[in-house]
Amino acid sequence: MVRFEKNKMTLVIGIDLGGSKIKGILVDEKGNVMNNYERLTESDNPRKEILANIFEVIDKLMVHGVEAVGFSTPGFELPNGKMTCMPNIKKLEGVKLRKELEKKTKLSVFLENDANCFALAEQRQGAAKGCKNVIGVIIGTGVGGGIIIERKIYRGAVGGAGEIGHTKLLVNNNNNNSELKEIEELISGPDLIQRYELLSGKRADSPAVLLDKKDEFARKVYDEFVFYTGVFFANLINTFNPDMIVVGGGVSNLPFYKEVEKIAKKYAHPELGRVCRIVKNKLGDDSGTIGAAELALDH
């Protein structure tokens, strides 16, 4: 075990629990990463084994002087302590995860939704550093969001604030009739691929196929994506008046920012749209662990 005796540093562990991997970092009070470790989640295994995998990552990073653990997780913790909305790790649905972690580590554990950790990380160390009010939007296999107001995470009444993927838009369907659809059904990676394949009759491996300007079907789906995303962001701007919207997830790699910002500012209130920038994240896959560590350092 490593020991820091003189000039004792404040140390925390940040854990990012994902459906496929568990990643962890050991961090000092200045945000410097001292060590890191990761392993597979094995989310199809029994609950005890998944918890054992989480404990393994913590144990590998534990040193003398660690004062707290920050934990980024899919879903969120209800006021009764039980986890909910855990589609990628169903075995942990209803588990009092914080209680299990504190029992094991004998430390204070601060648990937060992964999108909130993403937004916090980008606000503290990433693209939105220095901003007070930030919306983090993750566009990947689904759409999630984290809300930072006056540099603090906004959680809502029961911890579920930021479920922005369930925002509804009225769109025309193939029969030229209007219907309500969730934004997650319109701009997520799987949806973009599915719509392209239906229109073109071709197979696609990723949303990057939409960047082929010579393909009329790619252009059509891309233009729809830009419009839906721009209107969605305009609604966020009008609701929260953020300094910045930071975009993460696999779809964030598409170079849509100028076009989406143009649509967003067309439909947002002029003054609110003027002050809000829409940018790609800077921290990438490290945002979960960094956000979790920042969460622990805050406490």
What confidence tens digit (pLDDT) does each residue in 207-218 have?
999 999 999 999
End-to-end CA distance of the chain: 24
Is the CA virtual torsion 281, 282, 285, 286 positive or negative?
negative
Start-end of CATH 3.30.420.40 domains in the chain: 11-119+286-298, 129-281
**Secondary structure (3-state) at 239:** helix
Decide if 24 contacts 38 (C-beta within 8 A).
yes
Q: 């009008």: which residue's tokens?
A: 238
User: Rounded to an integer, what distance in angstroms lies between the CA atom of residue 240 and that of residue 128?
Assistant: 15
Decide if 93 contacts 83 (C-beta within 8 A).
yes
Q: In the predicted model, what is the mean pLDDT of the chain?
A: 94
Decide if 232 contacts 239 (C-beta within 8 A).
no
Q: Give the pairing of strands 277-280 and 108-113.
A: unpaired
Q: Give Cβ neighbours of residue 77 (< 8 Å, ≥ 6 apart).
A: 83, 84, 97, 98, 111, 159
**CB-count burial class (<10 Å; 0-12, 13-18, 19+) for 49:** middle
Over the chain (299 residues), the average pLDDT of each successive run of 10 is 54 96 96 96 96 97 96 92 91 96 95 95 97 97 94 92 92 83 96 96 96 96 98 98 97 97 98 98 96 94
Q: Give the pairing of strands 277-280 and 244-248.
A: parallel
C-alpha distances in Å from residue 30, one per residue of 37, 100, 150, 171, 189 = 20, 28, 21, 47, 36
* pTM, full prediction: 0.92
What count of Cα atoms within 13 Å lies in the side-chain half-sphere of residue 249?
Answer: 24
With respect to CATH, is domain 129-281 assigned 3.30.420.40? yes
pLDDT of 87: 82
pLDDT of 84: 92
pLDDT of 5: 45
Q: What is the topology classification, in CATH, of domain 11-119+286-298?
A: Nucleotidyltransferase; domain 5 (3.30.420)
What are φ and ψ of residue 157, in 5° steps?
Answer: -65, -40
